[in-house]
Amino acid sequence: MANIKSQIKRNKTNEKKRLLNKSKKAAAHTAIRGVEEAVKAGKKEEALKALSLAHKRIDKLAGDGVISANKAARLKSHLDSAVNAL
């Protein structure tokens, strides 16, 4: 356990940031799941709407530094391929 004042503060801010990042990732994964379920059901219109939301959430994650730009591109490419296959 830290006993230096600045380190105690740093630990608190790190924990807040970790929880915020976790929440953002969960929202993105929910959007991704929406696209995958629409693709599995064969609903192209619904999949396109969900894809737009998923792209927005993934870009936000990459912009905030939660995930790398390469991972964001990989996720979006995977989703695009799935929707285009419909």
For the whole model, what pTM was predicted? 0.85
C-alpha span between 77 and 61 (Å, rounded): 15
The mean pLDDT of 18-27, rounded to a whole number, is 96
What confidence score (pLDDT) does residue 61 get? 96
Cβ proximity of 54 and 28 under 8 Å: yes
Q: What is the pLDDT of residues 23-82, one digit of tens each?
A: 999 999 999 999 999 999 999 999 999 999 999 999 999 999 999 999 999 999 999 999
Predicted confidence (pLDDT) at residue 1 exceeds the cutoff of 80: no
